C-alpha cells in the first residue's frame, strides 16, 4: 500500500483537479480521498503537498536503440532516463537492428524491459519488413507478441498503394498506423528547414511541403480506407491545419508534436550546432506558433519527445554529415510545463497531452488515468522546482541535447510505476530496487 498525500491531483480523464490523497494497492489505484488524509495508514507515505499528482506520463515516441545500437542507448538506460523525466511508459519505435518486424524482436524488447526496465515499454512494430517499404509485416503476430501500433518511423512508407493496403488490412483489427510523414523526393537531401537560416548558412533545405504533402496524402488514404492514423512529430503550420481539417471531418486521425518544435526554431542552427539537427527539422517561428495553437485547441493529442540518442562522434562532425535527432526524455516535462507560463494552456490540458492523450491514441488500457482500478502509474511533479539541465544529469548513454545548460522550471520528483517508486528525489522516500 502506498499513500500519496496532500497533492493537487490532476486526472484529465475524469476531469478531477483538486487537493487530495491517492491510495495505491497491488499495482492498482485503490481510491482518491478528499479532506483529511487517512489516519493510521498502514503502508508507505509520500507527502505531495505543493506538488501535482498526475497519471504516470507516457511518451509515445522514443528510440531505445535496443536491440542493435546499445552503445547509443539500451532499454535499461533509456527507461531510467524516462523515469527521471517523469515517464512511467514509453513507446519505442521499430528502427532497431534487427528491425522490430518479427515477434522475436518484439518479445526481446518486452522481455528485457520486464527484467531491466524502469518504465513500462510498449513496442511499436514496423509496417513493412525491414522498414523497406516493400512487403507488409505480419501485423497480427506482432500485435499478439505485444506491439501496440505500427510505424516505419524514421522512414516514410513511400508507396501510397502499400500504405493503403496496410491501412485497409489492419482496419478490422483496430490497429493504428503511426506515420512519419515525409515526402522523400521533396525533402531530397536537405538537412535543415528551408528558410532564411538554411539559406544563410548554405545548408540544403527541407521544405515544409515535404511534411505537409505527406500528411495530406496519408490522411486522404486513411479517409479512403476508414483507417486509424496517427501523424508523428508534426512540425509545420500547414501540418497542424491539415490535421485540424481532418478532425473536423470526423476522421479517426490523431497527432503528436515534440517539445523541440514548440520551444525552438531553426535559429538554433546558428553556428552549425549539430545538436539542433533533427528530422523533421526545427522550423520557423510561424510554425512554432501554429503548433502551440494546435496544442491549445486540441488538434494535437500528445506531446512525445522523439528521444533519439546518438553517440558523440556522429554529432561531432560537419553539419551535413551529422546524425539526426536529440534526446528528450528528461527535458520533455519541464519544456512542456513552460507552456503554462503564458496562461494559454491549463495544467489539466498539459497533463492530458502527456498521459491520457497518448493512452487514448494507442488504446493503452489502464494507463493515463487515476480512476480506481487503473494501473498504479503515478507521477508526482514539482511545478516550481528550478534547476539547470547539465551533462551530469543525463541518464541516457548519449548526451545529444540542444537543451544542455538550460534553466528549467518544474520536474518530476517521484515516478511510480505499477505501485513501485522507481525514481524519486523526495527526502525520506527510497526508490524500490
d(CA 55, CA 58): 9
Nearer to another protein, 201 or 345 (CB): 201
Catalytic residue among 59, 183, 287, 306: 306
In angstroms, give the least distance from the CB of 216 to another protein.
23
Q: Which is nearer to another protein, 43 or 405 (CB)?
A: 405
What is the binding site for another protein (CB under 8 A)?
188-189, 195-196, 199-204, 271-272, 313, 316-321
Cα of 68 vs its chain's centroid, Å: 21
Note if 183 is an active site residue.
Answer: no
Q: For every residue of 182-246, which 3-state class applies, written as one string?
A: CCHHHHCCCCEECCHHHHHHCCCEECHHHHHHHHHHHHHHHHHHCCEEEECCCCCHHHHHHHHHH
136 burial class (0-12, 13-18, 19+ CB within 10 angstroms)? middle
3-state class (DSSP) for residue 262: helix
Q: Which is nearer to another protein, 134 or 199 (CB)?
A: 199
Please say which residue, 107 or 316, places its beta carbon nearer to another protein. Answer: 316
Which of residues 198 and 354 has its CB atom nearest to another protein in the complex? 198
In this structure, are strands 176-179 and 228-231 parallel, antiparallel, or unpaired?
parallel
Minimum separation from the CB atom of position 420 to another protein (A): 43
CB of 199 to another protein, least distance (A): 4
| Minimum distance of another protein from residue 319's CB (angstroms) | 5
Collapsing DSSP to helix, strand or coil, 142 comes out as helix
- Residue 270 CB, shortest distance to another protein, in Å, is 10
CA–CA gap between residue 241 and residue 196 (Å, rounded): 23
Gap between the Cα atoms of 327 and 145, Å rounded = 28
Active-site residue list: 306
Amino acid at each position: 500500500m502506498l499513500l500519496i498525500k496532500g497533492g493537487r491531483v490532476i486526472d484529465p480523464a475524469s476531469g478531477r483537479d483538486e487537493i487530495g490523497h491517492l491510495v495505491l494497492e497491488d499495482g492498482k489505484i485503490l481510491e482518491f480521498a478528499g479532506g483529511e488524509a487517512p489516519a493510521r495508514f498502514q503502508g508507505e507515505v509520500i507527502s505531495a503537498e505543493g506538488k501535482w499528482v498526475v497519471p504516470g506520463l507516457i511518451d509515445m515516441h522514443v528510440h531505445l536503440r535496443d536491440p542493435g545500437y546499445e552503445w547509443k542507448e539500451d532499454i535499461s538506460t533509456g527507461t531510467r532516463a524516462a523515469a527521471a523525466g517523469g515517464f512511467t511508459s514509453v513507446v519505442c519505435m521499430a528502427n532497431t537492428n534487427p528491425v522490430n518486424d518479427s515477434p522475436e524482436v518484439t518479445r526481446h524488447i518486452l522481455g528485457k524491459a520486464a527484467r531491466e526496465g524502469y518504465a513500462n515499454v510498449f513496442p511499436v512494430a514496423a509496417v513493412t519488413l525491414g522498414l523497406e517499404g516493400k512487403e507488409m509485416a505480419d501485423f497480427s503476430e506482432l500485435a499478439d507478441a505485444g506491439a501496440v501500433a505500427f510505424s516505419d518511423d524514421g522512414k516514410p512508407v513511400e508507396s501510397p498503394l502499400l500504405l493503403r493496403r496496410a491501412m485497409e488490412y489492419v482496419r478490422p483489427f483496430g490497429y493504428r498506423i503511426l506515420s512519419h510523414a515525409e515526402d522523400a523526393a521533396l525533402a531530397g537531401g536537405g538537412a535543415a528547414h528551408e528558410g532564411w537560416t538554411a539559406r544563410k548558412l548554405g545548408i540544403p533545405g527541407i521544405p515544409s511541403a515535404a511534411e505537409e504533402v505527406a500528411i495530406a496524402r496519408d490522411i486522404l488514404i486513411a479517409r479512403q480506407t476508414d483507417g486509424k492514423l496517427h501523424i508523428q512529430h508534426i512540425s509545420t503550420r500547414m501540418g497542424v491545419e491539415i490535421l485540424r481539417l481532418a478532425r473536423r471531418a470526423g476522421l479517426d486521425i490523431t497527432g503528436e508534436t515534440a517539445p523541440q518544435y514548440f520551444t525552438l526554431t531553426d535559429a538554433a542552427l546558428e553556428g552549425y550546432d549539430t545538436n539542433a539537427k533533427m528530422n523533421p527539422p526545427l522550423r520557423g517561428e510561424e510554425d512554432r506558433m501554429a503548433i502551440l495553437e494546435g496544442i491549445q485547441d486540441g488538434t494535437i493529442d500528445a506531446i512525445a519527445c522523439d528521444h533519439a540518442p546518438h553517440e558523440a562522434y556522429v554529432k561531432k562532425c560537419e553539419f551535413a554529415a551529422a546524425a539526426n535527432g536529440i534526446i528528450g526524455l528528461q527535458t520533455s516535462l519541464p519544456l512542456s510545463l513552460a507552456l503554462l507560463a503564458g496562461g494559454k494552456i491549463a495544467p489539466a490540458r498539459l497533463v492530458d497531452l502527456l498521459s491520457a492523450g497518448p493512452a487514448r491514441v494507442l488504446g493503452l488500457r489502464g494507463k493515463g488515468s487515476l480512476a480506481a482500478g487503473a494501473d498504479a502509474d503515478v507521477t508526482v511533479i514539482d511545478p516550481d522546482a528550478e534547476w539547470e539541465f547539465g551533462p551530469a544529469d543525463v541518464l541516457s548513454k548519449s548526451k545529444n541535447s540542444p537543451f544542455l545548460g538550460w534553466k528549467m522550471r518544474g520536474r518530476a520528483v517521484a515516478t511510480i510505476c505499477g505501485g513501485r517508486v522507481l525514481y524519486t528525489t523526495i527526502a525520506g522516500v527510497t526508490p524500490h530496487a
